[in-house]
Amino acid sequence: MSSWVGMRATATPAQIDAVARAIRTTPIIDHHAHPLLKPEALSKHPLLAITTEANGDAIDSATTSLPHLRAVRQLASVLGCGLTWESVVARIEEKRLGCLEDWTAECLSGIETILLDDGLDGGDDANAYPWHDDYTRSRCKRIVRIEKVAEDIIRRVGVAENILDEFGKRGGEVLNRAFDQCIKEFGDYILTALDDPDVVGFKSVVCYRTGLDITIDPGDAPEVLARQDFGTVMAEYGLQGFEKLKIKSVNDYLVHRTAQLIRDNLFRHKKPIQFHTGLGDNDLSLAKSSPSHLQEFIRKYPTVPIVLLHAGYPFTREMGYLASVYENVYADIGEVFPCVSQDGQERILREVLELCPWSKILWSTDGHWFAEIYLLAVMQMREVFETVLCDYVRKGHIGWRAAVNLVRGVLFKNANKLYHLELDFSELEEETGLAQGAYLSDAELLRGFLKNQPAPDFVKICWNDFTASQRMRMVPFRKFASLVNEGKPTDIGITTAAFALIQNDWLLPNVSPTGEYRLYPDFSSLRKGPIEGHISMNGEFRQQSGARVPFCPRSVLQRAVEYGAENKLAFLIGFEIEFLLLERVDNSPTTRYATLPTDGHAWSVSRYFADPKIAALLRDMVAALADMGIHAEQLHAESATGQFELVLPPSPPVEAADTLLHARDAMSALATTAGLRLTLHPKPFAAACGTASHMHLSLSSSTDGNGDKPELYHPFYAGVLKHLPAILAFTYPNPASYERSRDGAWAGGRWVAWGTQNRETALRKVAGSHWEVKVVDGLANPYLAAAAVLFAGVRGCAEREPLVWGDCEIDPARLTANDRRELGVEQRLPGSVEEGLAALRGDGELSEMMGLELVERYVALKEFELKFLGDMGDEERRQWLMERY
């Protein structure tokens, strides 16, 4: 049996999308934050603090930090303003003056409830914790900061007892009585809080006061030490000027006393203690902020739940270790969003997950004073979670169902259980479409896709055939929606002759239009467009039994991805769309299309964009694609008159091919609306540069996530080069393809070769495992082209194919015979469709991987197409192809 048959399936695009949707829609329990400022106090605190713990003069430097610059970009995007801090501040002021309540609600969107530590300094400037209920779906709860409670009691008892005067008269007797009174009141307060349903936990900032190295002594030693040092508290600070308790023995005892009261409480559910660890302002002793200092304290109170806040950053691994080996310890990954750079946040999440069970991980904003912190924290968390977790799923580190459960646990369920909030997640699942199994239902995917947009007129289900003709079936939306809502099948019967037709629907001889396949829409590929009133999906063909159809190009690419996963490889592909804009000619019997006025058109020049019609069309193309969720990365003029290139973002292979086809459809429709014709013809005019559809490819190893290792990617690209002549049958599938294929034309040349940043070689190495396949054009079926490349490359890795070709630094056509021998550049690429098909027939390995049935049918159809095109004259064939591509 071939090695790619019966392989373990990797995650499908729909399953990856299920993970992403869970990240985007799971309601959040923000288990550690602080109150927002009252309107009149907003100007008293610097808005710069939203991404930094710095204060005083140091805060001004935050403007040159990566977290700040990222926050500016994100806030500018939300606010619709310029990409400067000044623009962001001005727009926020407008929002506050317009309707502060609405802006606050927008910033806190997605947060189910907040557990608020209201013990920050400057508390009079902040709203009380119940005030926040107006902005969350469930009531907010309180976290009691124990140092704040103790400091208030000490201040009040000291004044009431006139302790400074009395201490001079009666000495230790007064201090003992005051100490006993303070500890009694403190204990009473904690006991009351334990009984208070609005208090769900406690918080210690001993990290700030005297460090996390809490003294652990047997018996009553912590109390004895605290009593001895209580006089220092009074003498050092006085009472009127007393602010923060910074005597180590007293601070340590307060933490012990709180833990003892929780431990000894008769309630079965213990309320946790949160500890500030790691990241903090300059009042903190960083050397004593590592959560590892708490290890002995954790051991002493094994029944007291302990939450280590703020990812312990930069001591994240220490935090993850403690949460993994002690049942009563939980790891929080808050505050690093938005106070750490994106790369840092990704690393932090990965470091926590290295060791820590996700059932012990919680998430919080550590939001305080400004609503914008909540907004940024949630945005960045979702972005980073999606990057890391979807990457893990693609690499097979975690199953997609487990990833969904991880998201639900970290964002909601773990905190709901730990703090005994008793929120009903099933109701929230119903509202957000997250019910068990529902995240894969077609109905939920469709409803989520259509949320906040008008219902379309039609649903298009598309496929791309062997001639790269984009075909589709269109269903009125009302009919389609009723099928989905009633749970009825949405697959469509399509004749088995679908993959035996050429562009004008002539049927391959010896194939009859009998029998039927089922075309199943993939709801994860839903996109708006390509025109107003339409939504589109890509489909995959199945037999009546549900088995894969060997001729279905999309299924072939999915098999190639699975073959890669079996060999511990994952891929990203990004296509370039090179296209030519033509004017329509209505008064000519033979010529339908003509070039645009030249206006000095050349590669990467800007003058063409001054044409109002062209500039508007290109702008509309980019905007329309963005509205469909396709975000172009670059757009520039190419060499031929009216020729441009739009670069698509990298995506997993099937999604990349889906995106390419949808983008082309949308761009072509816009060009037609503008009275122009968009063509992908590889060589529309003999004297002008050709048009390609270059494919950028990078790979990674699922064992360590790193693909930029020569020992990994060299065998992969050696496999591609080994099979490249046969691959051309799929990437250069038309006689017009070979009109473009020339040496010295930046088109990839005519040799089996590769070179670093060499655009005259078939494979251009860009950086690391990121290489560009240049020998692909717009007449190729992108699923088949990508599948052929991936199958060949993975086979190269599986067989450890040596890269016998050297790095070609110049145009291979200019090499001497001796240079060619030294570099291994000795094989010419096919020079025609016939030669490409012959190479495919002669490549048993690639034919077997692609599927012998598919190769036989594909070759037969291409030969039939060649005969049809060969009966045309050159100009007739050129015009005919431009009508269709």
CATH class name, domain 446-549: alpha beta
Count of Cβ atoms closer than 10 Å to residue 21 Cβ? 22
The reported pTM is 0.55
The token pair at 809 is 């630094």
539, containing H or E segment: strand 534-542
- Regions of the chain with pLDDT less than 70: 1-14, 160-172, 218-220, 233-242, 426-441, 545-546, 588-591, 598, 608-609, 702-705, 744-746
Q: Nearest-5° angle of CA 677, CA 679, CA 683? A: 135
558-884 folds as: Creatine Kinase; Chain A, domain 2 (3.30.590)
The token pair at 313 is 């950053």
Instruction: For residues 37 and 50, give the distance between their C-alpha atoms in angstroms, rounded to a whole number.
Output: 13
What pLDDT, on a 0 to 100 scale, did the predictor assign at position 76? 87
Residue intervals of the chain classified under CATH 3.30.590.10 are 558-884
Instruction: For residues 12 and 653, give the distance between their C-alpha atoms in angstroms, rounded to a whole number.
Output: 11
The token pair at 262 is 């929780």
Residue intervals of the chain classified under CATH 3.10.20.70 are 446-549
Helix or strand or coil: residue 292?
helix
Nearest CA among 446, 571, 468 for reference residue 521? 446
Please count the CA atoms within 13 angstroms of the CA of 352 that sit on its side-chain side: 32
DSSP structure class, residue 427: H
Contact 857, 509 (CB under 8 A): no
Instruction: For residues 813 and 752, give the distance between their C-alpha atoms in angstroms, rounded to a whole number.
Output: 11
92, containing H or E segment: helix 85-107
